Amino acid sequence: MFRKWFGGGEGGEEETPRTGYTLDTMQVGCLVDYDLKTWEVVGYHTCNYEGFETQEWELRCGDERRFLEKDEDQLVFTAKIGVRQIQENVADAISQDGDPPQQLHFQDRAYAAVESSAGEMREGGKGLGHDFVSWSYESADGKRVLFISQWGERDFRAYEGEYVEEYQFTDILPSPKEGQH
C-alpha cells in the first residue's frame, strides 16, 4: 500500500491534476482567496495600450464583482462605481473639453489625474478588440485609484479601488469543471 502512495506501486498511471496556479495562469472558472473571501474568476481579458499589455480578471464573490488588473509593475483591485457617484460631472467635462477634470472626488476622497491613454480591450485575450480611452487617478496617499473609461460617444464607466500585492491572492484552484469531458 505504501508503495502505491509513494511510487513504485502497481496499476495504471493516474492523471495528475494541475497544481501551482498563479495569477498569470489563472483562468475563467478558477477560485482564488483574497481578504478572507473566495472569489470565482468569471471573466478575463487583455488590454493593449499602444504596445503596453495588461491582464484583467473579473472576480465574483456572492453579489460582489471586482476587477483585478495586472501590468508588469503593479496590481489593482477595483469595483465598478456609478459615474454619477463622482462629485464632478465627468461625462459633461469629457464631452465639452475632451478630458475629465484634473481632480475628482469620490466618497470624501480626492483623486489627482495621473495619466490618460487609448487602449484596445480583447475579451478572453483574443480576437478583435474594442477601442476605449482611459483616465487614471490616484489618491493623495498613493494607496487608492480611480479609473474613468470612455467606450464610444457617451458610454462612460468608472472603477475605484486599491493597489494590492500578488501574495495577497492565495489558494488559486482550478475550476471544479476542469478535466471533465
In whole numbers, what is the pLDDT of the chain averaged over residues?
88
Q: What is the pLDDT of residues 43-76, one digit of tens each?
A: 999 999 988 999 999 999 999 999 999 998 899 9
pLDDT band at 178 (very low <50, low <70, confident <90, very high): low
What is the enclosing helix (H) or strand (E) of 17?
none
Residue 7 has pLDDT above 60, yes or no: no
What is the enclosing helix (H) or strand (E) of 94?
helix 90-97
Quote the pLDDT of residue 14: 43
* Environment class of 73 (CB within 10 Å of its CB; exposed 0-12, middle 13-18, buried 19+): exposed
Answer whether 67's CB lies under 8 Å from 164's CB.
no
Q: What is the pLDDT of residues 110-128, one digit of tens each?
A: 999 999 999 999 999 898 8
- Residue 154's closest CA among 80, 93, 87, 101? 93
Quote the pLDDT of residue 9: 46
Q: What is the pTM of this model?
A: 0.83
> Residue 72 is which amino acid?
E
Residue 125: C-alpha distances to residues 10, 43, 48, 53, 175 (Å): 43, 10, 10, 10, 19
Quote the pLDDT of residue 2: 41
CA 158/CA 68 separation, integer angstroms: 14
Answer whether 53's CB lies under 8 Å from 120's CB.
no
Quote the pLDDT of residue 177: 67
